[in-house]
Chain A
Amino acid sequence: MKSSTKSQAPLLEIKDLNVGFDTPEGEVHAVNNLNFSIKAGDTLAIVGESGAGKTQTVMAALGLLAENGHASGQAIFKGNDLLQMSAAELNRHRGREIAMIFQDPMTSLNPYLRIDKQMIEVVMHHQGLNKNQAREHAVEMLRAVRIPDPERRIRQYPHEFSGGMRQRVIVAMGLLCEPDLLIADEPTTALDVTVQGQISHLMGALRDNSNTAIILISHNLGVVAGLCERVLVMYAGEAVECGSVEQVYYDPRHPYTRGLLESVPRLDRPEEQGLNSIPGNPPNLLTLPAGCKFRDRCPEASDACREKPPMQLDDQRHAWRCILGGDT
């Protein structure tokens, strides 16, 4: 099934996306000229340090930016530009065709409503199920994300759940409508490794059974490798490298990607843990440098990097934004 979809038009295509926030200090350039696309049944990971613009990229597409935020460019979903839609038009896609699993499990559930109410409102609203069917469906989903005793737990309030349990509830809520596109923002950070595995497995099953496209935002390169085919590496609101998991993990072309891979703690080299995080900090998003945004931290920087480096593309759909890294 997966291979038959390869030639289709993309499900979501992000074109020249810019996201800015007006603040008293000036405009925060959170996402800059971002392009990527994803087809039905594809799994794309977005990785990058904190503040790289991963979350705001998808928030912009869903029309969920904060009030001081604005987006330009295009986010074409099934042929229509999400960025041009009114809230009412977006509501025909949100929840039903595009589901979002939010990053912060502690605050993303409504503390004043029982879990059942929050879960079943999605399916009742979009699939027209009645209360009992919706509820049964929700209980099954909670069971699938390994919440013990789901019939009882679903009657409880969010504060009766631990952080990890809330995260599973949020994941279950996202999977409930069997969306065409599932956006999962750090869906497993608060979970232990076994449950992480189970949840990636669930998402993988959803993709395989319903041909769901998945955008996975994660710091965890291990989870990414387990679930995704393609990886987009973001730095200071830009795409710096994009390719298949094999290309990016085993043949990284951008120095930032290499730094990111080296900063992964490794069991086989425990003495180096934490030592390998990339030195320095990402640039100030208020005043982005003109040339390569990674220049201040790049071990291979040279004078040529004062000009904005072009996106290089090899014939295997592996792309990177650096003056180096070409095969010649």
Chain B
Amino acid sequence: MAKHSLRRLLGLIPTLLLLLTVAFFLIRVAPGGPFDAEKALPPEIQANLNAKYHLDESLLQQYFRYLGQVVSLDFGPSYQYKDWTVNELIAQGFPVSLTVGLTAIVLAFFVGTMLGIAAALRQNSTVDYSLMGFAMLGISIPNFVIAPILILLLAVYAGWLPAGGWDWGVPSMVLPIVTLALPAIAYIARITRGSMIEVLHSNFIRTARAKGLSESIVIRRHALRPALLPVISYLGPAIAGMISGSVVIERIFSIPGLGSYFVQGALNRDYTLVMGVVIFYGVLILVLNFLVDLLYAWLNPKIRYDQKR
């Protein structure tokens, strides 16, 4: 198992390298450069800046220079936020994004599975149909539509919550977290319902019932784990989805998270900042997916067994 994990971790390196390479060249293909302003700078200043940031070197030279930096875990200075390094900007924005993202995923997992189980246990009832109707809505309406609706209802009309901003207080967290979690809640509820219904039809559940165990023990002890396995495997993609979703959410709610920096960076051709955030998120997604796989294997004795051999 440990050997297997190590091998998988090493396998992430080529993926990251590919991500870095593609991002590096893509962003340079995009028209414009970091120091294009409304008013063109005098040529000698432009040249000075280019020299300072090595933008006068050939693309390949820049690429390898950047690679060297990244290996030493230094994403370089930001082009736009002149006094900041990219590392500092990430350190600044990430705790905010992490708080939003982590809370949203935990919320999505618990609320989603609970709704899914509730629907499965009342299959084809009104509860089931309304829950699944709600889930369909949650999946099909994108974040950037849900957000203004929630803002309108809960912030503007009801006045219960702030419409945006971030002060590390709970009220400022509610709307962004709920908006980010809703589609995942809906999706997880659907997965859980389907897998729970399937598991409840399996022969080993019949065996458990024949033992005279109460229905709640049958579900908790025998059905829950297999029913949750598909949800666990969805967590990997869900995390990636939340990260891209957070970019939008942070803009809408004016949250000073990593996503905001990313958008700013992209708009300003802040090459180093964009690259830094892309690589940081890339590593995050890969590592979290790896942890999810470990969790899956831990919950599924058959996989654990196959890996031991």
Q: Which residues of A contact B (CB under 8 A)?
A: 62, 64, 66-67, 87-88, 90-96, 99-100, 102, 104, 107-113, 121-122, 125-126, 157, 159-160, 170
B204, A107: Cβ atoms closer than 8 Å: yes
Once the chains are docked, how many angstroms separate the CA of A113 from the CA of B300? 9
A112-B211 in contact given A107-B202, A107-B204, A121-B221 (Cβ < 8 Å): no
Give B253-309 interface residues, CB cut-off 8 Å to A.
299-302, 305
Residue B27 lies at the interface, judged by CB distance under 8 Å to chain A: no
A-B contact pairs, 29 of them (CB 8 A): A62-B210, A64-B206, A66-B201, A87-B209, A90-B212, A91-B212, A92-B212, A94-B210, A94-B211, A95-B211, A95-B213, A100-B207, A100-B210, A102-B203, A102-B207, A107-B204, A111-B204, A111-B302, A112-B222, A112-B225, A112-B299, A112-B300, A113-B222, A125-B211, A125-B217, A126-B212, A157-B301, A159-B301, A170-B207
Contact of B212 among A109, A125, A157, A159 (CB under 8 A): A125
Residue B83 lies at the interface, judged by CB distance under 8 Å to chain A: no
A102-B210 in contact given A107-B204, A157-B305 (Cβ < 8 Å): yes
A159, B211: Cβ atoms closer than 8 Å: no
Q: Which residues of B contact A109 (CB under 8 A)?
A: 204, 207
Once the chains are docked, how many angstroms separate the CA of A260 from the CA of B207? 30
Once the chains are docked, how many angstroms separate the CA of A160 from the CA of B306? 11
A108, B203: Cβ atoms closer than 8 Å: yes
B211, A121: Cβ atoms closer than 8 Å: yes
Not counting A87-B209, A111-B204, A112-B299, a sample of 14 additional A-B residue pairs whose C-beta atoms are within 8 angstroms of each other reads A64-B206, A64-B210, A91-B214, A94-B212, A107-B202, A108-B203, A108-B206, A109-B204, A109-B207, A110-B204, A112-B300, A159-B301, A159-B302, A170-B207
Q: Which residues of B contact A87 (CB under 8 A)?
A: 209, 215
Q: Which residues of B contact A113 (CB under 8 A)?
A: 221-222
Residue B154 lies at the interface, judged by CB distance under 8 Å to chain A: no
Best-buried of A90, A100, A108, A157 by chain B (most CB within 10 Å): A108
A122, B211: Cβ atoms closer than 8 Å: yes
Q: Which residues of A contact B16 (CB under 8 A)?
A: none
Contact of B213 among A100, A111, A125, A170 (CB under 8 A): A125
Q: Which residues of A contact B301 (CB under 8 A)?
A: 111-112, 157, 159
Q: Which residues of A contact B230 (CB under 8 A)?
A: none
Closest to A109 in B: B204
Q: Which residues of A contact B208 (CB under 8 A)?
A: 110
Give B174-233 interface residues, CB cut-off 8 Å to A.
201-204, 206-215, 217, 221-222, 225-226
Closest to A103 in B: B203
- A131 CB to closest chain B CB (Å) equals 14
Q: Which residues of B contact A (CB under 8 A)?
A: 201-204, 206-215, 217, 221-222, 225-226, 299-302, 305
A108-B211 in contact given A113-B222, A121-B221, A159-B305 (Cβ < 8 Å): no
Once the chains are docked, how many angstroms separate the CA of A96 from the CA of B214? 13
A104, B203: Cβ atoms closer than 8 Å: yes
Query: How many Cβ-Cβ contacts under 8 Å join chain A to chain B?
Result: 75
Q: Which residues of B contact A108 (CB under 8 A)?
A: 203-204, 206-207
Q: Which residues of A contact B211 (CB under 8 A)?
A: 94-95, 121-122, 125
Contact of A110 among B210, B217, B222, B305 (CB under 8 A): B222
- B21 CB to closest chain A CB (Å) equals 42
A-B pairs with lowest CB-CB distance, top 4: A95-B212, A94-B212, A95-B211, A107-B203
Once the chains are docked, how many angstroms separate the CA of A102 from the CA of B202? 13
Closest to A100 in B: B210
B222, A96: Cβ atoms closer than 8 Å: no
Q: Which residues of B contact A90 (CB under 8 A)?
A: 212
- A297 CB to closest chain B CB (Å) equals 31
Closest to B225 in A: A112
- A41 CB to closest chain B CB (Å) equals 22
Closest to B222 in A: A110
- B301 CB to closest chain A CB (Å) equals 4
Closest to A102 in B: B207
A112-B210 in contact given A104-B203, A121-B221, A157-B302 (Cβ < 8 Å): no
A94, B209: Cβ atoms closer than 8 Å: yes
- B296 CB to closest chain A CB (Å) equals 12
Q: Which residues of B contact A99 (CB under 8 A)?
A: 210
- A86 CB to closest chain B CB (Å) equals 11
A110, B302: Cβ atoms closer than 8 Å: no
Once the chains are docked, how many angstroms separate the CA of A43 from the CA of B201? 31
Closest to B304 in A: A157
Closest to B213 in A: A125
- B46 CB to closest chain A CB (Å) equals 64
Q: Which residues of A contact B226 (CB under 8 A)?
A: 111-112
A160, B305: Cβ atoms closer than 8 Å: yes
Once the chains are docked, how many angstroms separate the CA of A15 from the CA of B48? 99
A121, B213: Cβ atoms closer than 8 Å: yes
Q: Which residues of A contact B212 (CB under 8 A)?
A: 90-96, 122, 125-126
- A54 CB to closest chain B CB (Å) equals 16
- A286 CB to closest chain B CB (Å) equals 22
Q: Which residues of A contact B302 (CB under 8 A)?
A: 111, 157, 159
Closest to B302 in A: A159
Closest to B200 in A: A67
- A111 CB to closest chain B CB (Å) equals 6
Closest to A112 in B: B225
Q: Which residues of B contact A170 (CB under 8 A)?
A: 207
Q: Which residues of B contact A91 (CB under 8 A)?
A: 212-214
Closest to A97 in B: B212
